[in-house]
Chains A and B, each alone.
Chain A
Amino acid sequence: MSGMRGLSVFISDIRNCQNKEAERLRVDKELGNIRTCFKNDKGLTPYKKKKYVWKMLYIHMLGYDVDFGHMEAVSLISAPKYPEKQVGYIVTSCLLNENHDFLRLAINAVRNDIIGRNETYQCLALTLVGNIGGREFAESLAPDVQKLLISSSCRPLVRKKAALCLLRLFRKNPDVVNADGWADRMAQLLDERDLGVLTSSMSLLVSLVSNDYEGYSSCLPKCVKILERLARNQDVPQEYTYYGIPSPWLQVKTMRALQYFPTIEDPSTRRSLFEVLQRILMGTDVVKNADNQRKVYAMKFIDAFFLFAHLLGIVNNYICTCIYIYKERDILLPCHLIQYFSHVSLDLLYGMCDVSNAKGIVEELLQYLSTAEFSMREELSLKAAILAEKFAPDLSWYVDVILQLIDNAGDFVSDDIWFRVVQFVTNNEDLQPYAASKVREYMDKIAIHETMVKVSAYILGEYGHLLARRPGCSARELFGILHEKLPTVSSPTIPLLLSTYAKLLMHAQPPDIELQKQIWNVFKKYESSIDVEIQQRAVEYFELSKKGAALMDVLAEMPKFPERQSSLIKKVEDVEDTADQSAIKLRAQQLPSNALVLADPQPVNGTPPPLKVPSISGIKLDHESASQTQSQPNGDLSKVQSQIPSADLLGEMVDPLAIEAPPVDMGSHQRVYREEDGIPDEVDGTAIVPIGDQANKVEPIGNITERFNALCLKDSGVLYEDPYIQIGVKAEWRGHHGRLVLFLGNKVTSPLTSVQALILPPAHLKLELSLVPDTIPPRAQVQCPLEVMNIRPSRDVAVLDFSYKFGTSMVSAKLRLPAVLNKFLQPLQLTSEEFFPQWRSLSGPPLKLQEVVRGVRPLSLSEMENLFNSFRVTICPGLDPNPNNLVASTTFYSENTRPMLCLARIETDPADRTQLRLTVASGDSTLTFELKEFIKEQLIAIPMGSRALVPAVPVPAAPLAQPPSPAVDANDPGAMLAGLL
């Protein structure tokens, strides 16, 4: 701070200001002063200039605009002495950015410093260019910077800066580094011993190979060597170890670089890499209980993990890898690591749980539940509940866990969970007194969750009498404690409480007149309840309880529930894909001891399903509901009807003509199409051509269209299944890139041959499917990664043309791939300050399109919100003053559009939920149109809720098919309704 008293005084002054106003006055005064000095005094001493420039930076940092003096800052760059030069460089790189014209003035001075002999000046210049250099810098300076980087006479200090400076220039203009000329030098750089230079060079390499790895294969073995050197801690100076771990950042960067190479050809390099990764993943260098070290370890772990998965070709099949790692290490990851791993680790824990460790894992999950992000809690609690059920060492422990779960995270415990615990208790007599006493304990807590009230009421009603001899558990006391909760619960819980009261009354032995009086009072009070359910129960229980013996019959203990598969497990299995299931099954089997073996096919399902010989030949191809109805041999009418609107609407809706056709007609409508043959092609580019009609006797299991629709909203699941094969999909999306893995699982004990998978890409997607093996061995699973790149917005769908031979019969299917528009959306929530300016700036067609959509499936606003959120268009609550309207935003990624903000507004009519007005806006007209159409399809089709609610769709009285017009019709009732809102 020597010699800059003026600056210190100024900072102190600012600190002493009592309020913002005073600060502003002081700043204005100083700015005025600096301005005058810069203006008048041409002979300003370098010292003064330096002081003023620092002050400008400080003022800038305080949040004030400094719109002058840039010239002075830049001119200091060419000052002859170091102190002034330094200030010039630093302040310039803070105040200016690459788009400022002033910066161009400095190019020459900067270049002189770079090619000059003064090392310190070289450093300053390289730093400036590295931080704010733009395209012009790239063009004029890249060769000089490259020279410095590879020069043997330069100190490491200069070279590491040169490496990063070159990285910046490369980002601004990739042409400045050419693989032909640079790859060898890059490889040489990786021989560097100095870890500072190596760290910077590695960043450069990551950037180069992320752009294009071609030509850099000579760097591969060197990266592996570096990783080996670090993992084995050979020749790593003490100063580069961080909490005992040799340069974890360099390790992470190296692993990142390796991830950009698709494969490693050389077997010995591959082997070395596996060894080193194993070493990292085992965490042999981690000291137990060293908290900091564990965190550092975690950071390596993630990248090592991805690389490992990448190499094994089981991309993101976390669980397989994790089970493997876990088995090898035989330790659990500590809780705080789990927090870092978030969702990934949840899958991990879930996957590796077995009888021996279930207790530990479930307790860990419960503990984590109270600190987890809200978005995770529901999944967490569901998984904890399932694990507890599957692996419970004894049933009382299971009851404990579920009650604790409800107590910790009641809001996130779905009804399924408490239904299940009630089922268990009902079916296991020895559990009943325990469960009753346990819930009785919870009832003593001051505030308990409503779900807890429900469980407790149910269990105490049924089994409360088993506790009668214990203190505080007489019927009257149980009633008292339950009744206290009644004012706090919502109306669906009240009927449950009334039933409990009736049961308590019945069980009270000897009959308790006082209790009877109290309970009758409650019944009387609810006799006139506005809620029909409550009213009915109150009246009936009141009457019944007067009858004595009859009451005993009616309110007898609930019979045992028929034993069935847990609805919870079913729920999760519906959600999880084949890979996960097989992973869970893997647990029971012997695990391979060598990492490489893991890539080998694993059995998919334990037992092959019985083979079915369908009586009617017919292929259920893809999403054609018509062919579905045809090929269903015994399809009863109601089933078919209920399927029609749900199963094919998405396909239908792509065709605008069909939108308003009554659903019942659609079957025939489609059938006509089929007879005409080939016409459905135009629907969405999915060629539905019957292949080998006669030979094909294999029927898919489940509805392909529903499977596809479900996969459009989630990232993993089953795409196709028939008696021989199951095709699962797991996808991951990042910006406009996506990576799908197809899991082809042979379900039977003989091989499937002539396996062929062909992708028919639509014009807007770039798709690359890795090699699909010709044969799938018996009961094995193979995985085929598929890279997807989105070039521009479009709703067209990619099709997988899949065929194989089983015995002599050829089976083929054309399957739509869930690489649909919404996968390239990234949820984004905007505040009103962010939303409205954007909304206003996008005015009118073609960037903003509006349409009144009719025939919408009626949804409540909250259901609609969920729907939007499920396809990653985020609802921004509270932005629209009208509570009947929703406003949403999202970001769309494609190569052509870059990340593009999309906005949407939905105006609903509370009087008629089947119509709404939809407005979509974005900076790209195609995108706006495609997104609008996409949302419309979703609103009309809604694949998710196709089951129960379908009959609610009003069938318009056979209106003529009417193409929707993007423009708003002024006479249209929807527009009028919008006017009213």
Chain B
Amino acid sequence: MRLLIRFILLQNRQGKTRLAKYYVPLEESEKHKVEYEVHRLVVNRDSKFTNFVEFRTHKVIYRRYAGLFFSLCVDITDNELAYLECIHLFVEILDHFFSNVCELDLVFNFHKVYLILDEFILAGELQETSKRAIIERMSELEKLE
């Protein structure tokens, strides 16, 4: 059966992982290996090529924002463009939430990033596409803390 997003990675150019979320069960060692390989795959790819690369038996959709690479691993038959825009929407949400997001925001508030992601994607599927709904939900949650 189709599983949409298998994992989401947010890595910087040096390969430091800033966010890693897996929707398929992987062992620790396997996760580290995946992160290493995906980084190697996207970091040196020429910008004039498409944002889609085959990865093992799947494909990785990635997009670069400044020094950060957002990568999604999906099924070969999935609609790449939908995921590419997904990444962009996620970045817009982060940008909105942190007002002008930069890598440092994501480093020091990594737990917030996980929270936002959980509102955005669940079970490897897109859950909510309204920026406003997610931002409002985040402020609700912040009040509880």
Contacts and interface: CB of A to CB of B under 8 A. Distances in A.
Interface in B79-95: 79-82, 84-86, 89
Contacts of A303: 79, 82
Given A83-B145, A90-B111, A295-B81, A196 B130 contact: yes
A524 B77 CA distance: 62
Contacts of B50: 339-340, 342, 373
Given A62-B16, A207-B1, A299-B81, A249 B22 contact: no
A371 B17 contact: no
A899 B76 CA distance: 13
Contacts of B111: 54, 57, 87, 90
Given A127-B118, A131-B123, A199 B129 contact: yes
B85 A295 contact: yes
Contact of B130 (A165, A240, A339, A342): A240
Interface in B101-121: 107-111, 114-115, 118
Nearest to A252: B82
Contacts of B138: none
A324 B7 CA distance: 38
Contacts of A930: none
Contacts of A171: 1, 3
A579 B110 CA distance: 54
Nearest to A98: B25
Contacts of A891: 57
A63 B111 CA distance: 16
Contacts of A899: 57
A98 B25 CA distance: 6
Contacts of A200: 122, 125, 127
B26 interface: yes
Nearest to A255: B79
Given A303-B79, A734-B76, A239 B84 contact: no
A61 B123 contact: no
A86 to B, nearest CB: 8
A571 B85 CA distance: 39
Interface residues of B, number: 57
Given A82-B145, A94-B114, A196-B133, A373 B49 contact: yes
Contact of A161 (B20, B86, B109, B127): B127
Contacts of A734: 76-77
Nearest to B78: A256
A612 interface: no
B123 A165 contact: yes
Nearest to A82: B144
A302 B79 contact: yes
Main secondary structure of the interface of B (DSSP, over half): mixed
Contact of B2 (A57, A161, A207): A207
A168 B127 CA distance: 13
Contact of B108 (A1, A168, A203, A339): A1
B126 interface: yes
Contact of B122 (A86, A164, A174, A195): A164
Contact of B85 (A160, A161, A296): A296
B99 to A, nearest CB: 15
Nearest to B28: A65
Contact of A203 (B26, B57, B126, B130): B126
A54 B112 CA distance: 11
B83 to A, nearest CB: 9
A82 B143 CA distance: 11
A336 to B, nearest CB: 10
Nearest to A298: B81
A11 B126 contact: no
B25 A97 contact: yes
B13 interface: no
Contacts of B20: 61, 94
Given A165-B122, A340-B50, A299 B85 contact: yes
13 contacts: A1-B109, A57-B111, A58-B110, A61-B20, A62-B16, A63-B35, A90-B111, A90-B115, A161-B127, A296-B81, A299-B84, A828-B57, A891-B57
Given A161-B122, A250-B129, 9 more contacts: A57-B111, A86-B115, A120-B141, A131-B21, A207-B2, A211-B1, A240-B129, A295-B85, A296-B81
